[in-house]
Every structure is written in C-alpha cells, then in structure tokens.
Amino acid sequence: MKRVLAMPSVQIALCLAVFAWGCWKFGPVGAAMTSPLLGAAICRPLMAWIANIRHAAREQVWLPVHGQHYVFKGVTIKVVEDDDKYRWVRLADVRKAVGETAGERALAVTYPGRFEAKGDGGHAWLRADALIEHLGKVNEPTALRMRTWVERDIENAARRLRERPY
C-alpha cells in the first residue's frame, strides 16, 4: 500500500479527489478555500512525475548504447567489450580525433592479438591497452591527451571489471 501511495500519479489523483469533494460539499466557497491547498499539495507530486518522465526518456535513449558511447573532444568514439572484459576501440574514430598515426598493417604487426577487423564493414579495432601503448609513442599533444583520456575513462574501468573475483 505504501508503494502505491508513493507514486506521483496516485498522489495527484488523491489531491484532485479531495479538491473535487470539497467543491461538491461546500460549493463555490469550498472551491475558493481549497484551491490554494490543492496548489500546495499537488506541487511536489507533479514535480516528481515530471522528473520520472525525464528519467524514463533518458533511459530510453542512452540504455541501448550504455558502455559503448564515449566522446573525446566532440568526436564520438565507439567502444565494445569482449567476453574477457577487454575494451576495443574503433580505429576510424581514433583517427577522426587524433589523425593518422600508423597504418593498420603496422598496428597488426606491432600489437598481435590486440588488433582485429570486426563488424559488418570490417572496421579495424584496437584493444584499449594497445591503444594506450601506441598513443604513448606518438609525439603530438592531442595524441597524448587522448592516451590519458583512454587510460582514465576506458581502460581503468575495464581493468577493475577484470580484477573482480566473480
């Protein structure tokens, strides 16, 4: 019963029912007397109801891309996680943010097992730890900033997931 009464829509309905009863029982005088009370009583449930709608809309939009959507300097970076809890970063997105650093063939030779062509379009993907290592070798400010960003936002979270005992 407490759970039902905590719902904003039920609270709003109860406030309106009490207001309607006051108008019916006491007429226009009752409506004039209870309308400020209605405004005060309905304010908090109405704000909670609007917040619930906003939360549901945000959930609808962001839940399908949870854990895959990252943004570096206004560029969307696609990230996927494999079964071993390693995160893979799409190389095309890294190149949009940083520019060309090395060819795919060179990356495949330098980082065996950490470079793959995945997906429908055969996009090149580099594991986050290999990307950190690679960007550390590039002597450009944007690449070094991205290296710090990948390490802080992508790889540290994945490392904590891998270290969990369960």
DSSP string, 42-57: HHHHHHHHHHHHHHHH
In the numeric block, which tokens belong to residue 116? 């793959």
Strands annotated E in the chain? 69-72, 75-81, 87-90, 115-118, 123-127
Which residue would you say has higher pLDDT here, 81 or 69?
A: 81
For 134, phi then psi, to 5°, come to: -65, -45
Mean pLDDT value across residues 93-99: 88
Q: What is the mean pLDDT of the chain?
A: 85
This prediction's pTM? 0.61
